[in-house]
């Protein structure tokens, strides 16, 4: 029988720690006794979060979209003689709108933040993770990790790619002590989703989860490490499964909703 992992005193690197979901994850993991390496761009915000959690955690302020920023995280983690026990690739960015309205910089920023950063951090931290007897890499995906959605073309591409990377690395590291897993929420009520996204979801009848609810489910997922991936929310899980069976059915359903989605596209709302 599988047993739950004890989070007491294990060391976890958490990226995007000061974002909406990141903060909720930090609180939930800290409450279970985990020692966190909080990663973000703003040191003051990281320290404020650390102080709110009791002050026992570590803070690394760096821009993970740069090579030097990622190396700063690696250099900091080298101080842990027993290595680190988990890497949670949570940092993310999003832009809602048609591809034709985006510019190259916006596209590149999403690709780097959502895909290149977790890939590179994983590569760089593998030797330190390998020191642990039971290490985990958990990539934070999305309902869009298996369901491409209009207005989220680049974000969907990133999350599809992250799921593929997770799957491949899980198999690549099958003969090691490191497990690689995907945790995929549906829409979350955070600042990353602007007013247009919120209004669109309301118009379509899409549900949105609180960061606290998602964080609670994440801790349960983390502790029961026999599950390779978890998608949250109904009917989102069903539609994701159905899309893998026959995407044409989803094409037809979303085509009918496209006029509503277009009404709320960022920068072109009427």
| Residues recognised as catalytic | 155
Q: b vs e for 2-24, b when ≥16 Cβ sit within 10 Å of the residue's Cβ?
A: eeebebeebbbbbbbbbbbbbbb
3-state DSSP assignment of residue 248: helix
**Structure tokens that stand for 57 in this block:** 């955690």
Q: Are 8 and 82 within 8 A, CB to CB?
A: no
Peptide bond into 123 cis (omega under 30): no
Peptide bond into 235 cis (omega under 30): yes
Residues in CB range of 239: below 8 A, 6 or more apart: 143, 147, 250
Cα atoms found within 13 Å of the Cα of residue 267, Cβ hemisphere only: 10
How far, in Å, CA of 106 to CA of 270, rounded?
Answer: 22
Alpha carbon 35 to its chain's center: 19
Strand bridging mode 229-231 / 11-14: unpaired
Q: Give the orientation angle of helix 104-111 with respect to helix 153-172, to 10 degrees.
A: 30
Sign of CA dihedral 35, 111, 256, 198: positive
């Amino acid at each position: 029988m599988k047993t739950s992992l004890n989070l007491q005193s294990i060391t976890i690197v958490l990226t995007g720690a000061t974002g909406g979901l990141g903060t909720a994850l930090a609180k939930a993991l800290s409450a279970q006794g985990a020692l966190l390496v909080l990663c973000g761009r703003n040191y003051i915000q990281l320290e404020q979060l650390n102080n709110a959690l009791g002050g026992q955690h570590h803070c690394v302020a760096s821009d993970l979209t740069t090579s030097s920023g990622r190396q700063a995280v690696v250099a900091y983690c080298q101080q842990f003689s027993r290595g680190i026990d988990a890497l949670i690739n949570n940092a993310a960015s999003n832009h809602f709108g048609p591809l034709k309205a985006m510019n190259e910089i916006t596209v590149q920023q999403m690709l780097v933040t959502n895909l290149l950063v977790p890939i590179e951090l994983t590569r760089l931290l593998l030797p330190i993770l390998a020191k642990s007897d039971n290490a985990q890499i958990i990539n934070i995906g999305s309902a869009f990790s298996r369901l491409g959605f209009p207005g989220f073309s680049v974000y969907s591409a990133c999350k599809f790619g992250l799921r593929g990377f997770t799957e491949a690395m899980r198999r690549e590291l099958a003969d090691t002590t490191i497990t690689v897993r995907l945790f995929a929420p549906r829409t979350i009520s955070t600042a990353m989703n602007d007013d247009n996204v919120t209004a669109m979801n309301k118009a379509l009848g899409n549900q949105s989860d609180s960061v606290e609810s998602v964080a609670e489910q994440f801790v349960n997922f983390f502790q029961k490490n026999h599950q390779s991936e978890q998608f949250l929310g109904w009917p989102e899980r069903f539609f994701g499964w159905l899309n893998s069976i026959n995407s044409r059915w989803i094409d037809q359903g979303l085509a009918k909703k496209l006029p509503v989605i277009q009404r709320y596209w960022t920068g072109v709302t009427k």
